[in-house]
């Protein structure tokens, strides 16, 4: 079974990996951080700002693949500092789709200067 690489200007790009791939009705979004694709800079210094932007980036990839927010059934969240969980959760609750997806949160292993959160998603369409 093959897959289709998903690409959109509405989310940051990296030459080392696809923003997402679609295969068999599933959309797999790569982990993305809270970079504003319009500026190429982090959306802010707070966990709330970065979480909101990372969720928007991931959702944009799902939409570019023909999906919608309510098609997302799994969200993975990696936090630089686990103590940021309450702030991340507050921002996440503002994004939450009609039917909540499964979710996990864990500590981000890589140290990337300024990055507080990385988020990935999986959706199903069709």
Share above pLDDT 70 across residues of the chain, in percent, rounded to a whole number? 99
Range of the domain at 82: 4-124
Domain count, the chain: 1
Cβ atoms 118, 76 nearer than 8 A: no
Full-model pTM: 0.96
Q: What is the CATH number of the domain that holds 85?
A: 3.30.1330.40
The DSSP symbol for 125 reads: -
Please provide the DSSP assignment of 31-99 as one string. Answer: EEESB-TTTSSBS-SSHHHHHHHHHHHHHHHHHHTT--GGGEEEEEEEESSGGGHHHHHHHHHHH--SS
The reported pLDDT for the residue numbered 1 is 60
**61 pLDDT band (50/70/90 cuts)?**
very high
Q: Taking residues 16-31, what's their average pLDDT?
A: 97
The reported pLDDT for the residue numbered 126 is 80
3-state SS assignment for residue 29: strand
Encode pLDDT of 83-121 as tens digits: 999 999 999 999 998 889 999 999 999 899 999 999 999
């Amino acid at each position: 079974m093959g897959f289709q690489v998903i690409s959109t200007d509405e989310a940051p790009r990296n030459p080392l990996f696809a923003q997402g791939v679609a295969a068999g009705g599933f959309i797999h979004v790569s982990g993305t951080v809270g970079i504003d694709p319009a500026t190429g800079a982090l959306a802010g210094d707070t966990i709330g700002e970065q979480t909101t932007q990372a969720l928007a980036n991931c959702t944009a990839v799902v939409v570019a693949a023909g999906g919608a927010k309510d098609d997302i059934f799994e969200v993975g969240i990696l936090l630089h500092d686990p103590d940021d969980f309450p702030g991340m959760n507050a921002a996440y609750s503002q994004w939450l789709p009609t039917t909540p997806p499964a979710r996990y949160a864990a500590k981000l292993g890589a140290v990337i200067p300024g990055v507080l959160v990385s988020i990935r998603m999986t959706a199903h369409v069709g």
